Amino acid sequence: MTTPTLPRRLVPLDAFRGATVALMILVNNPGSYSIRYPALRHAAWNGRTITDMVFPFFLWIMGMAMTFSLAKRLSSGATGQSLILHALNRSAIIFALGLLINAFPFGVGAP
C-alpha cells in the first residue's frame, strides 16, 4: 500500500503570504478608526508606512505563486490553451460572484 505524496510547498512563500494576510486584516479592521496606531495609517504623499506596502506584497506573492503553479501544470502536460481556458473560466466565476455580491444594495445581512 502506497501513501499519497503531499505536494511540496515553498514554506517561506506561505509564511510571507500568511503575514501579509494578517497585516491586511489588521489594516482593514484596526478596531477604532479614531484612535489608530500611526503605522497603520496611510502615509502622506511623500512617505511610506507598512500599510502602503500590503498591496505590493500581495501582488508579489501572487506573481510568485502563479509562476510556480503554471510551471507545474505545464510540466504535467497541460497545454497553453487549457491554461488560458482555465484562467478565463476562473475570471468569469470571480466576476459573476462580484456581480452577485454587489446586487445586494445594502450589503449581505444589513438591517
* Residue 105 domain flag: no
Is-contact 14 61, C-beta < 8 A? no
* Residue 31 domain flag: yes
Residue 110 pLDDT exceeds 70: no
- When divided into structural domains, the chain yields a total of 1
* Residue 6 domain flag: no
Grid coordinates representing 38?
A: 500611526
* Residue 17 domain flag: yes
Residue 33 pLDDT exceeds 80: no
Q: Quote the DSSP letter at residue 110.
A: -
- Mean pLDDT score, 56-72: 91
pLDDT interval class at 91 (50, 70, 90): very high
The whole-number pLDDT of residue 22 equals 92
* Residue 87 domain flag: no
pTM comes to 0.66
Q: Which of 4-8, 9-13, 52-56 has the lowest mean pLDDT?
A: 4-8
Cβ-based neighbour number of residue 27 at 10 Å: 20
pLDDT interval class at 51 (50, 70, 90): confident
**45: domain range?**
11-77
Residues with catalytic roles: 42
